[in-house]
Structure 1
Amino acid sequence: METFIGQGIALVTPFTSENTIDFPALKKLLEHTKDADYWVVNGTTAESANLSKSEKRAVLNFVKSNNPTEKPIMFGIGSNNTAEVVEQLTTWDLSGVDAILSVCPYYVKPTQAGIVAHYTAIADASPLPVLLYNVPGRTGVNMSVETIVTLSQHKNIFGVKDAGGDLAQAMRVISSTPDDFLYISGDDALTVPILGVGGNGVITVLGNVLPQEFGSTVKNALNGDVKLATKQMSEMLDFTDALFEEGNPVGIKLALDIAGICGKRVRLPLVEGSEELEQKLSSMYEAIKISSRKSIFVSNFDAKYAI
């Protein structure tokens, strides 16, 4: 699945002041992130837990209708209810979708055998290839290396998005799964080291607001220039950390509001970010953009006057 190598943007869902979906703002976000390798619709960052089924369908249809370059689309369908996931996979209109992102069952804390059985049922039923999603900070359970390796043998499971924050686990999974099984970072700050040990890309929160800057970092790391990618990422690390200080997508929506892309509204039980966080993100964002403009100028100057 080379389609999903590189930078995938986990799109936020913008809201109006009436708490409905802000489709003009979503269109602006799609334009802003048009250089990403693919889009992820209805992931955690989209506040999928607080969207109705009709809203999820509406967002997906809107993204499909505003995709002139036919960018690949990954759609999130996950639950702690296996039967519900299977029902959605087999009854929803998934035309125009290229793959499914399905989160590890949350809250119920299944055993590893339960996780294998859950994903096997999903992969057997899905009309599209499935990407596993390990995010123990939200689900309360970590998918073990052995579980991921076992599931990598299923013909309809093509990779894992891992937000476990464990570089050692990443190395063990990458070295123990088939060469065509994708290991995708779910942690922006760890993306460069993960790509350095053989990972294939990232599904990013940061990329919503800094798609070019972070996209360049990902490309350099994938091309083997980890030193340059590390330097680039170091300039965004504090900003990345700040994005998650008050939860996701609270921070990234503040940043998108600062950038003039969409509003900072979130749905309860989430609340808008604090003024202190907004001020911090604003100063950091401006510093990154200034640094980026300087880098582009120097690069263009060197290219123009190279001997």
Structure 2
Amino acid sequence: MTRLFTGTAAAVTTPFIDGAVDYDALRAHLNFLKENSIQSFVINGTTGEGSTLTAEEKRNCLKIALEVADKDIPVIAGTGSNNTAQTIAASKEAEDLGVDALLVITPYYNKTSQKGLVAHFTAVADAVSIPVVLYDVPSRTGMTIEPETLELLAKHDNIVALKDATGDFAHFSRLQAVVDDTFSFYSGNDDLALPYFAQGGHGIISVLANALPNEYQELFEQATTDHKAALETHQLLFPLVDALGVDVNPIPIKALVSHLGYGEYELRLPLVKLEENESDVLISLFDSIRKDG
């Protein structure tokens, strides 16, 4: 059985300088991630502020990720939107660039029904010949992929995985029951990584892995071999994970990525930076983890 990846993928941030994408900083950050155990790059997603990037910027970010990955690890492109035709066009373009898979979110704002989800995701999967990862994040979209819907979608040859950011473990159990073991589940919640792995999750698409890639991959590996060590790693990471909730993603993680030296601490509106005292708390916790680790 071949999965896109097992373990930790980074939902990669997009660095900016004076309003423009800082491609040099992006390349340096991606090299850091690859050199520190990351198993996949997820580009142009929520954490990458994909909704504020132009089509040209998205293409350039994907090209750099593909160059750095150099076929050693998969590159997954965030191409989803609330416009099916637009999602198909972005997905086909990403496929043409050479990405390994697509991350496609449930439509938001003009959210649909479960029947509409089947039609939307099927249309996207029919239009490409590479794997599709469904993305379920009801806190941002206002809807959830129900088990019956996943059961239908998982029958499509190109729909191979789900990024699950529901935070609902009973729901996860219901989803697991309707697919076979070739289908992959990836957590979308850093704070729930360990229990998600314990329940059979195949990995995580992580925000904090932008700054702590080794630690999150170690947590995944420990979860299957040494529960005591995994719990210790979880407890080491959790105060920082918890502190990231000070504001919406990716505002806090970009402070840490900038602290590591990969670009300025800059976001695009409507996102705004943390207050200095809030950043200081995060950086102090982060430095403490790196020292303890």
Aligned to 1:275: 276
Is 1:161 matched up with 2:167? no
- Closer, same or farther: CA 256–175 of 1 in aligned 2, 3 Å: same
Quick one: distance in 2 between partners of 1:276 and 1:148?
A: 43
Distance 1:42 1:255 in 2: 19
State the partner residue of 1:295.
Answer: none
Partner of 1:114: 116
Residues 8-47 of structure 1: CA distance to partner in whole angstroms, max 9, x if unpaired?
111100001x211111211221121012111111111000
Amino acid at match of 1:57: R
Matches within 5 A, 1:90-101: 90-91=92-93, 94-101=96-103
Question: Which protein, 1 or 2, shows the higher relative CO under an 8 Å CA cutoff with sep ≥ 6?
Answer: 2
Verify the 8 A CA contact 1:100 1:131 in the aligned structure 2: yes
* Letter aligned with residue 168 of structure 1: A
C-alpha distance in 1 between matches for 2:13 and 2:91: 22
Alignment partner of 1:289 is 2:290: yes
Distance 1:157 1:237 in 2: 32
Match of 1:190, as an amino acid? L
Note the 1:75-94 alignment, pairs <5 A: 75-91=77-93, 94=96
* Residues in 2 aligned to 1:57 and 1:85: alpha-carbon distance in whole angstroms: 14
Residue 91 to residue 99, structure 1, CA distance change in 2 (3 Å): closer
How far apart, CA to CA, are the structure 1 residues paired with 2:66 and 2:29?
A: 14
Going from structure 1 to structure 2, the CA distance change for 1:38 and 1:91 (only over 3 Å counts) comes to closer
The aligned counterpart of 2:50 is: 48
Instruction: Please point out which of 179, 183, 186 is paired with 1:184.
Output: 186
With normalisation by structure 1, the TM-score equals: 0.90
* Contact 2:102 2:131 (C-alpha < 8 Å) held by counterparts: yes
Number of the residue aligned with 1:26: 26
Local SS of the residue matching 2:163: strand
Alpha-carbon deviation of 1:109?
A: 2.1
Per-residue CA deviations over 1:41-95 (Å, capped at 9, x if unaligned) read 1111000000000110011111222334632111111111111112233355534
TM-fit CA distance, 1:263: 2.0
- Bigger shift: residues 243-252 or 130-139: 243-252
Letter in 2 for 1:213: E
C-alpha RMSD over aligned residues: 1.5
Question: Does structure 2 retain, via aligned residues, the 8 Å contact 1:196–1:224?
Answer: no
Which region of structure 1 is more displaced relative to structure 2, 40-49 or 78-87?
78-87
In structure 1, how many angstroms separate the alpha carbons of the residues matched to 2:127 and 2:195?
Answer: 35
Q: Does 1:65 align with 2:102?
A: no
- Which sections of structure 2, spanning at least 5 residues, go unmatched? none
Q: Distance in 2 between matches of 1:117 and 1:67?
A: 33
Taking the aligned partners of 1:226 and 1:21, their CA distance within structure 2 comes to: 41
CA deviation profile, 1:184-220 (whole Å, cap 9, x unmatched): 1011111111111111000000100011111111121
Q: Percent identity?
A: 38
Report how many aligned residue pairs link the two structures. 290
